[in-house]
Amino acid sequence: MKVRPRPHASVPPSAAASPARARLRPVPLAVAVVLLLGSMAAGLLAGAVSLPPGEVLRTVLGLDTGLSPMEHALLVELRLPRVLLGALVGGLLAVAGAGYQGVLRNPLADPYLLGASSGAGLGATLVIVHLPVPASVGVPLAAFTGALTGVALAYALGKAAGPGTGTLILAGVAVSSFLSAAQTFVQQAGVDELERVYSWILGGLSGASWNALWMVLPYAAVSTGVLLVHGRLLDVLAVGDDEASSLGVNASGIRLVVLTAASLATASAVAVSGLIGFVGIVVPHAVRRLAGGSYRTLLPLSLLAGGAFLVLADLLARTLLSPGELPLGVVTAFIGTPFFLMVLRSTRGRAS
């Protein structure tokens, strides 16, 4: 007896069969937009120095304000680029996580599953320890290149090992382990730079600037655009490759395109923020529970909610120990670990 492939636990088969019901509805979209704007407003207003809301709004709109030169510089040169970069990085990690979960049909997949984090860590460590280049230029470029290289190695190894998403995941684990070992080896040669290396690995937005924002924006636009237009096809893939092929969908080609776009989004985020975990797991699953599992809905809402999540997490990171600052990766880990365990438990419950 032929056994039909089991659909993705989080995406009902009807999502592929009924596109009209899978369309993004106005209410969830409006809620996500309000949540993002509210978190950004909180990020601009809160901090060691309080700023008047009315004057902040006038400054953001480009109008004359009563802010002092120091307050104006604090808002325009520090808080505004940090909030915008946080929203961008959070959105990229969340939408990449949703994309990975769709093509791998694994509810626990995240943007770092296929070697992106270990590749980025190795690239950044090499620059910090060995290359006499400005950190603001060399580290983001090396992290970006390392992340894409790690994913490319995992994909090539997975394809060589055989078809299927299982071999791709195992290849990602193998590549991640190898690159992490290589990073540890490089660190031993630069003990004096360990503090800088670990500071980057723990992630953060303390180095946010307008230059960093403009640098990552083109890659973010391309990667998110590709992911968003593939939402309907991810719904089709969710019911299995055989069903997708019967509908005329090239499952392997779609999987490669989405993996490439999600990896580009991850690499762009990592390049300017370091390694920030759990965003790609927490946000898509929260959106699924609230708005359903269709990727036509999940991808855009994850993009918006991911931005809001990381802006609020960064607000906690820079205010909980003010005037000190917690690494952003530590804050997201404190939030994400219990959520990850909850997702793991619910996944095991459905599997049994």
Contact 146, 274 (CB under 8 A): no
Q: Which domains are present in the chain?
A: 74-347 (1.10.3470.10)
Task: Spell out the residues 6+ positions from residue 153 whose beta carbon is closer than 8 angstroms to its own.
Answer: 115, 119, 175
Task: Give the pLDDT score at 287.
Answer: 92
Task: Give the pLDDT score at 20.
Answer: 39
- What averages of pLDDT result for each successive group of 10 residues across the chain (352 residues)? 43 41 79 95 87 88 82 91 96 95 85 88 86 68 90 89 80 91 84 78 88 92 95 85 74 89 92 90 90 91 96 92 85 87 68 50
Q: What is the dihedral of CA 229, 37, 326, 97, to 10 degrees?
A: -20
- Please give the Cα distance from 351 to 12 (Å, whole number): 15
CB atoms within 10 A of CB 46: 16
Contact 98, 231 (CB under 8 A): no
Task: Give the pLDDT score at 349.
Answer: 55
One-letter amino acid at 313 equals A
Q: Give me the long-range contacts of 68-77 (CB less than 8 A, separation at least 24).
A: 74/49, 75/44, 75/51, 77/210
230, containing H or E segment: none
**Cα radius of gyration (the chain):** 21
Cis peptide leading into 323, omega within 30 of 0?
yes
Task: Spell out the residues 6+ positions from residue 119 whose beta carbon is closer than 8 angstroms to its own.
Answer: 146, 147, 148, 149, 150, 151, 153, 175, 179
**Two structure tokens written together for 202:** 């723990």
Our CA angle for 346, 348, 352, nearest 5°, is 120
Task: Give the pLDDT score at 6.
Answer: 43
- Please give the Cα distance from 101 to 206 (Å, whole number): 30
Residues listed for the chain: 352
Task: Spell out the residues 6+ positions from residue 216 whose beta carbon is closer than 8 angstroms to its own.
Answer: 85, 88, 89, 268, 269, 271, 272
